[in-house]
Amino acid sequence: MTFLRLITAALLASLIALPAWAFDTKARAAWVYDLTTKTVLLSKNADIPIPPASMSKLMTLDLLFEALEDGRVTMDTTFPVSPHAQSMGGSTMFLNTTDRPSVRDLVQGIIINSGNDACVVVAEGLAGSEPAFAKLMTERAQELGMKNSMFANASGWPDPGQRMSVHDLGLVASRIISHFPQYYHFFSETHFNYKDRAPANAENRNPLLDIKAADWKADGMKTGHTQEAGYGLVGSALMGERRIVFVLAGLPSEQSRAQEGEAVANWAFRQFVMKDVARAGTRLAEAPVWLGGTSTVGLAPEKDLSLLLPAGSKDKVTAEAVFDGPVAAPIAKGQKIGKLVITVPGLDDPREVALVATDDVKRGGFAVRVKAALARLTGMAIDAAKKQASS
């Protein structure tokens, strides 16, 4: 495996002179993610299981959206309300056993009213009982790579068996946005009052929806609060083509939740910039060729690559062309040869894009093959002599 360190003009141009600053959140746990570029911007106690409160309702919604997508239910499907559902305390949409709410009602009741009763109705409607649904939630979370989540109920009601990490909350939020865009508009709705029963609980508690920022707009997703968990928020916002998802947990008050949510969004959008760092077809490196009509072949990115970079970073972005070489001829233009690995200081995950051949390289003639064979034999003889001399 060959590693060829590159510093290209495009990469150097990506570093801009703006004052960058780190974000020191007051939240006990936090995870900030640029969904557009798949970049983690901030991680604080992100994989520690914590009581998620009503933020875990996102997992209930994910399973409901799956049922909608595969046709098990429609938005007009109605479910009965059990005595258990009616008895739920905390935030509710005030359902009773004579009601037959539709799936649409329940989606709005969960997102806007944070209805614990609505979650139980969904759980019983899809799985027969809330414990059975909680088991499905846990199993599905594991399948989706949410390694620090387990569920005892559908609503986030306090229970020692109800735990999620902020990382896992961010994963399910990102999944809902990416996989169920047809339902995402519900998260930006601000008012729902089922049969005019809950005027005091009819407003969406997400404080970001009220912010009138000049350059970004929040459109989701879910708040949570219990005595044990503190105040939490799963937020999402859009600026141009960039979307961020973030999770804050363990804040001391509603006011601090609102302030911290706005501050995180401002930081994520304004302290990171999108830069084009590699253009498709631009020759960045050369790989040696074995038994070819030419001794090298050019390597170029297969597609454009844009990166999210910390504004004003003084550290160098590094790029390595990684390939198995020399590359045996014949080689076709566009053939994948290796990959370009770009490392950005301050961001955990390197970015990769395939490197392809810029030209066709035909297999060399008889003279080329003889020359290569002699060179190989000479090299083997030298290696053998060195080993004998050292023994």
Say which of 114, 155, 165, 313 is annotated catalytic: 114
Looking at every residue in the chain, the average pLDDT score rounds to 89
Q: How confident is the model over 154-170, as a mean pLDDT?
A: 98
* Helix residue ranges per DSSP H, the chain: 9-12, 57-69, 83-86, 103-111, 116-127, 130-143, 166-179, 254-270, 366-390
Q: How confident is the model over 353-360, as a mean pLDDT?
A: 94
Is 275 marked active-site? no
Higher-scoring residue by pLDDT: 222, 305: 222
Is 387 marked active-site? no
Query: Does the pLDDT value for residue 366 go beyond 60?
Result: no
| Burial class of residue 391 (count of CB atoms within 10 Å of its CB; 0-12, 13-18, 19+) | exposed
pLDDT of residue 278: 82
Q: How confident is the model over 263-268, as a mean pLDDT?
A: 96
Query: Does the pLDDT value for residue 59 go beyond 70?
Result: yes
| Burial class of residue 347 (count of CB atoms within 10 Å of its CB; 0-12, 13-18, 19+) | buried
pLDDT of residue 265: 97
Confidence of residue 381 (pLDDT cuts 50, 70, 90): low
Q: How confident is the model over 23-40, as a mean pLDDT?
A: 94
222 is in an annotated binding site: yes
- Whether 126 and 89 have beta carbons less than 8 Å apart is answered as no
Q: Residues for the chain: how many in total?
A: 391
- Whether 121 and 81 have beta carbons less than 8 Å apart is answered as yes
Say which of 54, 56, 236, 313 is annotated catalytic: 54
Q: Determine phi and psi for 351, rounding to 5 degrees.
A: -105, 145
Percent residues over pLDDT 70 in the chain? 85
* Helix residue ranges per DSSP H, 306-365: none
Residues 74-93 have pLDDT tens digits of: 999 999 999 999 999 999 99
What residue segments make up the domains of the chain, in order of their start? 2-12+276-366, 29-270
Higher-scoring residue by pLDDT: 120, 12: 120
Q: Cβ of 82: how many Cβ atoms within 10 Å?
A: 18
In order of 242, 287, 331, 336, 349, the CA distances from 360 in angstroms are 38, 13, 6, 12, 33
pLDDT of residue 379: 54
Query: Does the pLDDT value for residue 367 go beyond 70?
Result: no
pLDDT of residue 365: 57
Q: How far apart are CA 317 and CA 10, in angstroms?
A: 10
pLDDT of residue 388: 62
- Whether 331 and 279 have beta carbons less than 8 Å apart is answered as no
pLDDT of residue 79: 99
pLDDT of residue 190: 97
pLDDT of residue 36: 93
Say which of 57, 149, 155, 236 is annotated catalytic: 57
- Sequence-separated (6 or more) residues with CB below 8 Å from residue 339: 321, 322, 323, 352, 353, 354, 355
Q: How far apart are CA 213 and CA 271, in angstroms?
A: 16
pLDDT of residue 11: 40
pLDDT of residue 344: 75
Confidence of residue 206 (pLDDT cuts 50, 70, 90): very high
Query: Does the pLDDT value for residue 157 go beyond 80?
Result: yes
- Sequence-separated (6 or more) residues with CB below 8 Å from residue 355: 284, 285, 299, 300, 301, 302, 321, 323, 336, 337, 338, 339, 340
pLDDT of residue 350: 81
Q: Determine phi and psi for 46, rounding to 5 degrees.
A: -75, -20
pLDDT of residue 186: 99
Is 57 marked active-site? yes
CATH number of the domain at 2-12+276-366, please?
2.60.410.10
pLDDT of residue 227: 95
- Matching CATH topology for 2-12+276-366 and 29-270? no
- Whether 114 and 54 have beta carbons less than 8 Å apart is answered as yes
Q: How confident is the model over 244-267, as a mean pLDDT?
A: 98
CATH architecture of the domain with residue range 29-270: 3-Layer(aba) Sandwich (3.40)
**What is the chain's Cα-based Rg?**
28
